[in-house]
């Protein structure tokens, strides 16, 4: 939310586009921008599948520095993962299977699983296109109702649900479903894989999104595409 507030204050732009440093444009952006304006949309969101445990549980990021030996740590991590599969209703344990990252996500059921003010949780990609009005509406509610931010601070992957839920909950905003960035996600993976030149072209053909992701930094794929 701070990034949106800063971008709004610094640019004064009519629309803000949230993308990552690994996104690459594959459309005529001037034409796409005019299409967004003509559509009258305040928000272009890309919906994702909702997992109730993401918000019905209260999540903590827990560092696990021991065992120090890599082999011992991997064994403990595997046991924790198996434990989490057995205790999922009362305890969620999600070790991060990333080399060098010893943080685990641990979730416990909330006493009150619903967000304050009856807000409905809506899960969408964090990469989106917003009108200045949509940004102002979301920032105003964020400032007005701090209990909402406190709730979503302990939601799993809150950057895919907090702002998106605020936008969906305001009837004055025209929210439409349209991807800002296209990607390829392999079955069983939570993240899109890096694209080569052929994949960039394939994603561009399969999606109307103005950007594609992910491209490695300083990758030749973008230039080749």
* Range scoring the smallest mean pLDDT among 29-33, 58-62, 77-81, 216-220: 216-220
> For 124, which DSSP code?
B
Q: Determine the Cα angle at 28 with ends 208 and 212, to 5°.
A: 45
Is the CB of residue 27 less than 8 Å from the CB of residue 201? no
pLDDT at 218 (0 to 100): 58
Per-residue pLDDT, 221 = 53
Residue 150 corresponds to which tokens in the numbers above?
Answer: 């406190």
Instruction: Choose among 166, 180, 149: nearest CA to 15.
Output: 180
Average pLDDT of the residues in 13-29: 94
Compute the Cα dihedral for 209, 161, 149, 115 and give only its sign: positive
- Per-residue pLDDT, averaged over 61-75, amounts to 95
Domain boundaries, the chain: 1-48+122-225, 53-109
- Residue 129, beta-bridge partner list: 17, 44
Distance CA 142, CA 147 (A): 9
Q: H-helix or E-strand containing 18?
A: strand 15-18
pTM reported for the whole predicted model: 0.88
43: DSSP letter: E
Report whether pLDDT(225) > 70: no
pLDDT of residue 224: 52
Q: Is the pLDDT reported for residue 138 higher than 90?
A: yes
Average pLDDT over residues 10-18: 96
Q: What is the mean pLDDT of residues 160-187?
A: 93
């Amino acid at each position: 939310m701070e990034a949106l507030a800063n971008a709004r204050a610094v640019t004064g732009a009519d629309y803000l586009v949230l993308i990552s440093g690994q996104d690459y444009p594959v459309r005529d952006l001037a034409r796409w921008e005019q299409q967004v304006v003509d559509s009258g949309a305040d928000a272009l969101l890309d919906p994702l599948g909702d997992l109730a445990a993401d918000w019905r549980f209260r999540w903590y990021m827990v560092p696990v520095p021991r065992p120090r030996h890599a082999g011992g740590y991997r064994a403990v991590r595997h046991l924790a993962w198996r434990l989490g599969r057995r205790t999922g209703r009362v305890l969620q344990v999600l070790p991060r299977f990333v080399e060098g990252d010893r943080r685990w996500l641990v979730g416990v059921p909330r006493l009150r699983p619903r967000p304050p003010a009856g807000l409905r949780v809506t899960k969408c990609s964090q990469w989106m296109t917003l009108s200045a009005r949509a940004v102002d509406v979301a920032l105003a509610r964020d400032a007005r109702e701090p209990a909402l931010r406190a709730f979503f601070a302990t939601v799993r992957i809150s950057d895919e649900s907090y702002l998106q839920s605020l936008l969906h909950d305001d009837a004055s905003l025209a929210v439409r479903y349209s991807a800002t960035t296209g990607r390829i996600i392999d079955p069983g993976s939570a993240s899109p894989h890096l694209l080569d030149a052929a994949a960039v072209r394939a994603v561009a053909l399969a999606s109307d999104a103005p950007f594609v992701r992910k491209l490695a930094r300083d990758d030749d794929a973008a230039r080749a595409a």
